[in-house]
């Protein structure tokens, strides 16, 4: 399970399991990546629910 993050400065991909981990980064700063990771942590359960709703198994 993963999320893609896009903004005007660049883009990144984060794995959500087994823990939140940066998979790829293109042009985002360390500060931006930290902020994104914090947002993912806060919304982790919501993101997982949306993933399972979109990709039922």
The domain segmentation of the chain, as residue ranges, is: 2-54
> Do you find a cis peptide bond into 18, omega within 30 degrees of 0?
yes
Q: What is the dihedral of CA 16, 7, 28, 4, to 10 degrees?
A: 20
Kindly report the pTM of this predicted structure.
0.92
In this prediction, what percent of the chain has a pLDDT beyond 90?
98
pLDDT in tens, 25-45: 999 999 999 999 999 999 999
pLDDT of 57 higher than 90: no
């Amino acid at each position: 399970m993963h999320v893609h993050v896009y903004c005007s400065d660049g883009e990144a991909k984060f794995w959500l399991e087994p823990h939140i981990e940066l998979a790829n980064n293109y042009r985002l700063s360390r500060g931006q990546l930290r902020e994104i990771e914090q947002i993912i942590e806060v919304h982790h359960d919501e993101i997982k629910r949306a993933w399972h709703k979109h990709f039922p198994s």
